[in-house]
A and B are shown apart, each in its own frame.
Chain A
Amino acid sequence: MANMANMANSALAVLETALRERKLDRTLTTALPPLARTDPAAFIPFDHAAIDGLLGGMPRGQLSEIAGAPSSGRTTLLLQLIGAATRRGEIAALIDTCDRLDVAAASAAGIDFDRLLWIRGESFDSRSLSASPAERIVDRAVKALNLVLQAGGFALVAIDLADVPPRVLKGLPFTTWLRVQRIVEGSDTACLLVGPEPLARSANGLTVLCAGQTTWSASMHTRRLTGLDTRVRVVSPRRRVDGETRVEAIAEYDTPRH
C-alpha cells in the first residue's frame, strides 16, 4: 500500500513538472485581476435603487446582456443605463443596428447627448429596393462594435439587436462574442447586448431577463398609457447573483418638464 502511494505521488510530481515546463499549469487569466464585487468602480450603476441594490450595476470589463420580449422594458433599461453613465461624465456608444433610437425618449431618460456616440444601422424593414438583407446589416453592426471596442475609452458600449430575427442572430459564428469578450476583458468598458433572447455573456457578466407589461390609467374612455412595469431577473451563475426585482417606468409625458 505504501509503495502504491509513493508511486502515485511520484507520478503526480512528474505530471506537474511536465505541465509546468509547457506552461500548462494555469488557465488563461487576464492581465489585471478582476475587481472585487464590492468595489463600486467595477460597475456602471443604473441610478435605480432596486436594480443597483440587486446587482450593483453593469460590470466593467465584461460582456453582459439584456433580453426580453417586445414591450418587456429592455430599451427602457438600456436608456436608463446610458443616461446614468453619461450623467457621470463618462462616454457611451450605442450601435443601433436597426436605427430604432427615439431621440425624445433618450432625452427624457436624461442622456447627455454630447457624450453619446450613436451609430445608426439600417432598418431592414425598409421598403426600399436597395435595402440590405438582415445578415449584412447585423454583420456591419458587429464590425462597428469591434471598431468601437478596439478604439477604447468608452465606459459603456451597447449593441441593440432587439429587432433582429433570432435565426439571424443564431447564424452568427460563436467566435463573434468570444472575440468581443477578449477585447473588453481587463478594460474599463462594459459591453452590453440587447436582444430578444439570451445570446452571449462573459463568465463574470450578467444576463438580465425582462418581462413586463404596460400600465394604463383606470378610466375606460380617457384611458392613457401611464408606464411600464418590468420584472427584472438577473442570472449570473459564476458570480452567484440571482435575483429578481421590479422596475416601474413612467410615461414621458408624466415627467416634470424643464
Chain B
Amino acid sequence: MFGALYAAEGTDRTALDAVAREFSPRVEACGPREITLDLSGVERLFGDARTIAAEMRRTAADRGVRVRVAIAATRSAARLFVHHRAGLTVIEAGREAEMLASLPLSLLGNVSNDSNVSNDRLSTLRQWGLRTLGDFAALPPDEVAARLGQAGVEWQRVARGEDQRPLVPAVPEERFEQTLDLEWPIEGIEPLSFVLGRLLEPLSAHLERRDRGAAVLHVRLHLVTRSIHERSLQLPAPMRDARTLRTLALLDLESHPPDAAIDRVTVAVDPTPGRVVQYSLLTRPLPSPEHLSTLAARLAALMGEGRCGSPVSVDSWRPGECAMKPFAPRDSALAPPKPSGEGGRPVVALRRFRMPIPVRVRVEEGRPVHVWIDPPAPSGLRRCVSSGRIEVASGPWRTSGAWWEGTLALPRRGEGNWDRDEWDVALSDGSTYRLFRERGAGLSRRSGAAAKAEWFVEGLVD
C-alpha cells in the first residue's frame, strides 16, 4: 500500500517531510511539494486506509501544512489521484485502472520527470484524439511502442496505475553527535577527560561502522552560567581514533579553558570518507597524521602557538624574514644522497639574533675597529656576543627597503623600513659576526666617537 502527499504552494519542505516520516521511514521525494510513502504494515498501527489518510491530514494540519492525501495499492495510482483530486482519496486494491480511466490525460505530465518530453508526448496523444487515461490505456501496447517507443509503453502502464520501479527511500542525513547531561557540574580538565572519553568511544565506533573519518571535531560545553563554550578543531587528516580525538580536544581546552563549571557536554564531528592508506616498501614510513597532530598540539601547548611547524622562505629582501606553516610531510620515495652547494661543499651558516643586539663600535677611517657591549646588559646577553678588537672587517654592504613603512626607534622583526650598512667582522677571539649600522641614526663616520644605539649585531657566522 502506498500513499502520496501533495502540499499547498509555499509549504515548508522540511515540515512535509516530517509529516511523512511520522507514518513511514520509507519516503521518497517526488517534487518540491509532493512526497510518496510506503505504507506496508502501517494498518496495524492506525487501521484501514481511510483512517490512515485522515490521520495523515490531521497530523499535517497540526503542523500547519495543508495537504491532499491519496492512498492506493501502487505509487503511480496514488500520485495520479493526489494531483487530480483535493482532500482524501482512497482507491481499493485491484481497481486502479478502472478508477483512473476517467481522469484527464494531462495528469501524466504531472508525474513525469521531464516536462519538455511530456508536453511533446501529450500533444501527440491529443492529436490522436485521446482525452483520458482510459483512452490511452486501451491502445494496443505494440502500436504505442511502434509510435512512441519504450517510453510511451511505460507511460501507458502508468496510465493503468502500474509501477515502473520500486520506491527509492531517501536516507535521512546522519548526525555524528553525542551528548551527555551531567548530574552535577564539573570543573577542570581531569573530570572532563573522562566525560570526553565516554562520548568519543561510541562516536568513534559509529564512524567506523560508516567508514567515515572526522574532518572537524566540535566540542560544545554548556556552562552553569547558561553560556556555551564551543571549540572546533580542524583535523589535518580524517581520523576516528577515540584516544587521539580526546587528546587533541583536551590539549585545545587546556589552552582555551571554559570560564565556568560545565553541566552538559556535546561532541560532534563533520564526517568525511575514511582515509585509504597504502603502505609502500619503497618509502620510509612517515608518522601517521594522528601522531603528528597529537605531537603538534603538545608542542603548541608547551612552546606556544605558532612556534612549531615548517619554515617557509618569504619573497622579501628584508634580512631574516621568514614565515611558518603547519608541519605536514608527504610520502616520497627515498632518493640517493645529493650534494649541496657548489660541488657538494657545505654553505656557511649564520646564527641569527631575532632581536638584533645593540653594541658599541669604535670606528676609525670609516671602518669598525672595536666592538663591545655595554656593562648593564644582562649576563646572557654578554655571553651571546664577544667583545674585542676587530681583526678583519668586510663592508659596508648597503641594504634598504620598505621605504613606504614608518621608521621605528628600535628595529623590530618584520616591521618598518630598513636602511643599513652591513659588515662581516672577525674578532681577535676567532668569532665572526654580522654587524649593521642604521644609516638613519645620522652619526659621523669619522674616527673617534663611538656610536650609540646605531650599531647592532645581527648574527654569528658559525
Contacts and interface: CB of A to CB of B under 8 A. Distances in A.
Interface of A: 45, 47-49, 69-80, 83-84, 87-91, 99-110, 113-121, 123-127, 134, 140, 143-144, 147-148, 151-155, 162-163, 165, 213-214, 216, 223-225, 227-228, 247-252, 254-256
Given A91-B329, A126-B355, A249-B348, A113 B424 contact: no
A224 B459 CA distance: 16
A225 B303 contact: no
Contact of B310 (A107, A114, A165, A252): A114
Contact of A75 (B344, B351, B354, B386): B351
Interface in B363-400: 378-381, 383-384, 386, 392-394
B424 A225 contact: yes
B291 A151 contact: yes
Interface string B350-366: 11111101000000000
Contacts of A102: 320, 349-352, 459
B327 interface: yes
Interface stretch (B145-153, B234-242, B267-275, B281-289): B281-289
Interface string B313-335: 10000001010100111101111
A76 B426 CA distance: 17
A239 B426 CA distance: 37
Contact of B324 (A118, A127, A162, A249): A118
A125 B339 contact: no
B87 interface: no
Nearest to A119: B308
B446 interface: no
A90 B294 CA distance: 20
Contacts of B349: 75-76, 78-79, 102, 105-106, 109, 249
Contacts of B329: 91, 114-115
A153 B348 contact: no
Nearest to A120: B307
Contact of B381 (A73, A125, A140): A125
Contacts of A91: 286-287, 329
B334 A89 contact: yes
7 contacts: A49-B344, A88-B334, A104-B313, A110-B340, A119-B307, A152-B287, A213-B430
Contacts of A84: 337, 340
A117 B308 contact: yes
Contacts of B355: 123, 125-127
A41 to B, nearest CB: 10
A125 B378 contact: yes
Contacts of B294: 151
A137 to B, nearest CB: 10
Q: For chain A, what secondary structure do more than half of its interface residues adopt (helix, strand, loop), or is it mixed? A: mixed
A117 B337 contact: no
Contacts of A248: 345
A153 B302 CA distance: 20
B430 A71 contact: yes
Nearest to A100: B351
A70 B335 contact: no
A99 B459 CA distance: 12
B338 A124 contact: no
B295 A151 contact: yes
A7 to B, nearest CB: 58
Shortest 5 CB-CB contacts between residues of A and residues of B? A153-B287, A110-B340, A103-B322, A75-B349, A75-B462
Contacts of A45: 337
Contacts of A251: 347-348
Nearest to A216: B392
A228 B424 CA distance: 13
B461 interface: yes
Contacts of A80: 340, 346
Given A114-B330, A124-B380, A165-B380, A87 B337 contact: yes
Given A102-B351, A252-B348, 5 more contacts: A47-B337, A47-B340, A113-B310, A121-B303, A225-B394
B204 interface: no
Contact of B335 (A72, A76, A87, A134): A87
B84 interface: no
B461 A228 contact: yes
B394 A224 contact: yes
Contact of A103 (B313, B333, B347, B460): B313
Nearest to A94: B311
* Highest count of chain A CB atoms <10 Å: which of B334, B340, B432: B340
Nearest to B332: A89
B289 to A, nearest CB: 11
B407 interface: no
Given A117-B327, A224-B424, A76 B346 contact: yes
B250 interface: no
Nearest to A91: B329
A118 B309 contact: yes
B123 interface: no
B190 interface: no
A49 to B, nearest CB: 7
B394 A109 contact: no
A113 B432 CA distance: 27
A71 B337 contact: no
B312 interface: yes
A212 B332 CA distance: 36
Contacts of B352: 100-102
A118 B462 contact: no
A187 B351 CA distance: 30
A121 B303 CA distance: 7
Contacts of A225: 348, 394, 424, 432, 461
A155 B284 contact: yes
Contact of B295 (A88, A148, A163): A148
A127 B311 CA distance: 25
Contacts of B324: 118
B299 A119 contact: yes
A134 B292 CA distance: 28
B424 A105 contact: no
B232 interface: no
Contacts of A77: 346
Given A88-B335, A115-B329, A152-B287, A249 B345 contact: yes
A89 B335 contact: yes
A102 B334 CA distance: 27
A71 B459 CA distance: 11
Given A144-B302, A144-B303, A225-B394, A113 B312 contact: yes
B440 interface: no
